Structure 1
């Protein structure tokens, strides 16, 4: 596998993760960086994830990753800056971290692969493409993810 193929695999991992988040969130591509034999793809979530909904958001992502056969390597249970770090069966590291103002950041780190040129991601963002400018803080309000109350728990015996 070369760096371009690893980048495409990284994009597919991010695409499938974002497809599992319901209701969906708006996201933008962030920097791609490369080392001597690996690279990192990043996406920033533009939807504000309220403090009350961060656990539900991260739970959705973690469940999807577990169901996909990823190993959960580490969890940062910080109230303010929680994060989940996982590894795919083929050695890709994937993580999500909540940063300032509820902005979630996703990152995929590839294993060491053959050096090659790497094209920009082919999946278009589902919102503005902040090309050549700094990505702003989350600026999209969601009727689900941005509200200040926790997700209501299911009522026992309620259906």
Structure 2
């Protein structure tokens, strides 16, 4: 009996500590503040990239205690330039104190994932036809309403569009091929 009690007490203490941490973090920031912080994270990395990439807002999703903000790049990024983009982003995130969590070196669909010091998950994935997708996932925070992002997109998206199209903006640098 005694052997069962100690593990249960330890498990209970760990659970209470985790709840206490989530509650204290949640009391500091609500979903709207977390979404705004996500926008700043996305704005800062996109401002770092030269020449500039053109992008539109992807969908914002709201979970039970978290928010995800997305940016979809409309600049066509050639296979030859994908490594350049991931390198710029990787260096900026490391310089910003982010901890790299996953680096996927797939030739067609590379991606990098990182975590900020305050627990926000960030990622850059390259999808079909060289389309880049940036995403920030917040830690668990207090529930609140979440407004649309106020960051102005740099590419046009038809307001009636049901889906975000594939990349359709040419860049002399980002779209360049090695031929």
Instruction: Answer yes or no: same fold by TM over 0.5.
Output: yes
Residue in 1 aligned with 2:172?
Answer: 143
Superposed counterparts of 1:72-83, under 5 Å = 72-83=100-111
Residue in 2 aligned with 1:4?
Answer: 32
Cα shift readout 1:80-125 (whole Å, capped 9, x = no counterpart):
0000000000000000000000000000000000000000000110
Residue in 2 aligned with 1:31?
Answer: 59
Q: TM-score, normalised by structure 2?
A: 0.82
Cα shift readout 1:18-50 (whole Å, capped 9, x = no counterpart):
000011100000000011000100010000000
Q: TM-score, normalised by structure 1?
A: 0.92
> CA RMSD for the aligned pairs?
1.1
Give the one of 82, 87, 95 matched to 2:115.
Answer: 87
User: Runs of 4+ in structure 1 displaced over 4 angstroms?
Assistant: none
Q: Secondary structure at the match of 1:51?
A: coil
Mapped contact 1:93–1:110 kept (Cα < 8 A): yes
Mapped contact 1:69–1:89 kept (Cα < 8 A): yes
d(CA) in 1 for partners of 2:159, 2:64: 25
Moved more, 123-132 or 36-45: 123-132
Asked which structure has the greater CA Rg, the reply is 2
1:58/1:130 CA distance change after superposition, 3 Å: farther
Structure 2: 5+ residue runs without aligned partners?
1-28
CA shift at 1:132, angstroms? 5.0
Structure 1: 5+ residue runs without aligned partners?
151-159
